[in-house]
Amino acid sequence: MDKVSWITVYPEVVLLVMACVIALVDLSVKSPRRTGTYVLTLLSLGVVAVLQGLYATGNTTLYGFNNMVVSDPMGNWLKCFATISVMVTLVYARPYSGDRGMLRGGELFTLSMFALLGMSVMISGNNFLVIYMGLELLTLSSYALVALRRDNAVASEAAMKYFVLGALASGFLLYGLSMLYGATGSLDLTQVFEAAASGQVKHQVLVFGLVFIVAGLAFKLGVVPFHMWVPDVYHGAPTAITLMIAGAPKLAAFAIVIRLLVEGLLPLAFDWQQMLAVLAIASLLIGNLAAIVQSNLKRMLAYSTISQMGFVLLGLLSGVVNGNTLSAANAYSSAMFYVVTYVLTTLASFGVLLLLAREGFESDEVTDLAGLNQRSPLYAAVMGICMFSLAGIPPMVGFYAKLSVLQALVASGEALYVALAVFAVVMSLIGAFYYLRVVKVMYFDAPITATTVSAPLDVRAVLSVNGALVLLLGIVPGGLMALCAQAIVLTLGT
C-alpha cells in the first residue's frame, strides 16, 4: 500500500496496537483497581486524541486504501471528540467499576478501546463494507461491556436484549447496503452518489434499499420506532457502561448518517428527508412524554436521549430544500454542534450519578438526589447545569444547540420545516418539566441520607471541568460553532 493510505489510518493503527499491548500488560497487573492498566489506557488514548486533533487542524482530506478510507476535517474532529469522551468515561467509571468487581480483569479498558476503534473505523469509512465493519466492532464490544458484570442478572438481561435487537438492526442496515450495491454495482460512496445522480438506476430499487438503511441508522441513533432497546439497556447496564453507550457512539452514529445519506445518497434527499421527519416527530413526542412518568433517572435520561436525537434529525433533514443545497452547511453544522454538546452534557450528568453511587447503592432514582445541594453544592451545581442544558435553558450550551437547529429549520423557508420548528419548541417546553423536577429534588427536597459525597481527585477535577464547559460553551458558543461549520464545509464542499 502507498504511504498516503497508511497516513490516513495512523491514529487507528496506534489505537489497535495499544489496545493489544494493554491486554497483554494487564496480565501482569496485580492491583485489584488496575491502576497500571488505567494509567496506560489514558496515556494511550491521550496520544491518539492528540494525533486526531493534529489531523483535524490540518484541514486536509486524504483518501487511502483505494478510496475505502477517508481522513477529513469532520471525521477527524468527531474521532478526536469520541476519544476524549471515552477517556472521560473511563475516569468516571473506574471507582464505580472497582466497587462492583468489574476490574477483576482488564476487559473494561481493552473493550472500551476496541469500541473506540470501531467508532473510528465507522467515521473514516468511505465504503459500505468499511462502515459496516466498524459498526460491528463497536456493537460487539458494546454487547460484551453491558454483560461485563457477570453476576448481575439485570445486566445480563440487558445485554441479551441489546444483542438480539442490535443483530436485527444490523441485518436491516446490511440488507439495505446490499440492495444499493446490487442497484449501483459499487460499494464506494462516491460511485454510489454518481450512480444515484445519473438517473440510470431504477428509483424504486434505490428507495427500497434506502428504507432499510434509514431503519438501521435509526436504531443506532435510538430514535422512535427503533428505540425499544434504549431504556432497557440504559437501565439494566451498569451505570459506567450506560455512559459508554450514551456518549461517544452518538458521535459515530452522526458520522455514518452523514457518510451514507449525505455523501452517498444526497440525490435521494427528498426521500430520506421525509423518513427523518417522521422519525424526528415521533422521537420528540414519545421521548418527552415517556420521560415525564419515569422515576428512575437512567430510564428518564434514556427517553431524554430519544428526544434529543429527534433534534439532531431535524438539523439533518433541513440541509436540502427542493434540491437546493445552499443551506446544507448551516443545517449539518448545527446538527454536528448539537450532537457534540449533547455528548458533553451527558458525560457530566452520568458522571454525577457515578460519583454518587457506592457499593450496594446505585443512586439511579430521582429521589436519590434529594437534598444533594446540602450534601455537596458543587455536584448539585454540575447536575443542575446539565439539566438546564438538556432542557435548553440559557445560558447553557444546550440552549444554543437547540437554537441553531431551529434557526436552520426556519432559514430553509419551507412551511413544513417552520411547522417542525414550532413543534420542536412545544416539545422542549414539555421536556423542561422532567429536567427541572431533578433540580427541584436536589435543591428543595430534604436529604434522605446524611452520607457525604467523596470522590478521587481525578474524578472531581474532570467533573468540575466538564460541568464548567457546559456553562462556558453556552456563554461563548462561537468557537465550537465555527469549528463545526468549518469542518462541514471543508468535508462536504458546501
The string of pLDDT tens digits covering residues 222-241 is 898 888 888 999 998 888 99
Report residue 313 as a C-alpha cell. 434529525
Q: What is the pLDDT, as a whole number, of residue 61? A: 86
Angle formed at CA 471 by CA 470 and CA 473, multiple of 5 degrees: 70
Q: Mean pLDDT, to the nearest integer, of 405-414?
A: 87
What 8-state DSSP symbol labels residue 237? Answer: S
The pTM of this model reads: 0.94
CA dihedral sign of residues 284, 288, 290, 294: positive
Residue that has been written with the C-alpha cell 441489546 in this structure? 162
Q: Which of 126, 17, 153 is nearest to 69 (CA)?
A: 126
pLDDT tier at 325 (50, 70, 90 boundaries)? Answer: low
Residues 341/346/352/357 CA torsion (nearest 10 deg):
-170
Calculate the average pLDDT of the chain: 88
pLDDT digits (tens, 9 = 90+) for 4-60: 778 888 899 999 999 999 989 888 877 777 788 888 999 999 999 999 999 988 888
Q: Mean pLDDT, to the nearest integer, of 159-172?
A: 89
366 Cα distance to chain centroid: 24
HEC secondary structure over 109-171: HHHHHHHHHHHHHHHHECEHHHHHHHHHHHHHHHHHHHCCCCCCHHHHHHHHHHHHHHHHHHH
Distance from C-alpha of 312 to C-alpha of 253, rounded to nearest angstrom: 11
Distance from C-alpha of 68 to C-alpha of 76, rounded to nearest angstrom: 16
At 107, the amino acid letter reads E
Q: What is the pLDDT, as a whole number, of residue 376? A: 84
Q: Mean pLDDT, to the nearest integer, of 279-308?
A: 92
Q: Which helix (H) or strand (E) holds 202?
A: none
Asked if residue 309 has pLDDT above 90, the reply is yes
Report residue 191 as a C-alpha cell. 460511485
Asked if residue 494 has pLDDT above 60, the reply is no
Question: How far is the CA of 424 from the CAs of 33, 155, 290, 430, in angstroms?
Answer: 45, 34, 16, 10
pLDDT tier at 73 (50, 70, 90 boundaries)? Answer: very high
Distance from C-alpha of 463 to C-alpha of 481, rounded to nearest angstrom: 23
Q: Which of 153, 489, 118, 458 is nearest to 327 (CA)?
A: 489
- E-strand ranges in 407-488 read none
CB 458 within 8 A of CB 27: no
Q: Which of 209, 215, 210 is nearest to 279 (CA)?
A: 215
B/e letters for 150-177, b = 16+ CB within 10 Å, e = fewer, are eebeebeebbebbbebbeebbebbbbbb
- Output phi, psi for 6, to 5 deg: -70, -35
Asked if residue 389 has pLDDT above 70, the reply is yes
CA dihedral sign of residues 153, 157, 163, 164: positive
Find all residues with CB under 8 Å of 184, minimum gap 6, and list them: 191, 192, 195, 196, 201, 206
Looking at the chain, the whole-number percentage of residues with pLDDT higher than 90 is: 51
Asked if residue 338 has pLDDT above 90, the reply is yes
